[in-house]
Amino acid sequence: MFIPNSVFVDTNVFLDDILVRQGKDNAKRILELGVKRLIRLCLSSLSVVNISYIARKAVSAERMKEIFDLYLRYFVILPDTDMDIYDCIRSGNPDFEDAMQISCARREGCLAIITSNKKHFTPYTDIPVFTPEEFLAKITE
């Protein structure tokens, strides 16, 4: 059974759950692994800001605070540093947010990245990248 002790969760996985998008069930299962403390889930501080910004049209500010209060106490919120920004500039990744998340995950020593959009991560990191569905299948092998 594959259960890495430290996993980075991409912004879109969190949004799949909050915005009830396709993949929400698997996203919720991933987040619940963190709530149950079965896996150490990491999220960048930039991701928290982006989640709030993107979800603001669909979710009230009060509800967003409730969601953050529910989940974020179980996540390790990684700071974004000046070195992460320099890594992003040099990374070749055209998506700055994803490059920032990769840099944070690498710095923290995360053993996997979970994202709904592997093509923005896989070419730019040697950290194993999984969709929520792939990750859940892998840990139940």
Concatenating the DSSP letter of every residue in 24-90 gives HHHHHHHHHHHHTTSSEEEEEHHHHHHHHHHHTTTS-HHHHHHHHHHHHTTEEEEPP-HHHHHHHHH
pLDDT, tens digit, for every residue of 80-112?
Answer: 999 999 988 998 899 999 999 999 999 999 999
Domains, the chain, ranges and CATH? 6-139 (3.40.50.1010)
Residue written as tokens 């969760």? 9
Instruction: Supply the pLDDT for residue 2.
Output: 55
pLDDT at 141: 62
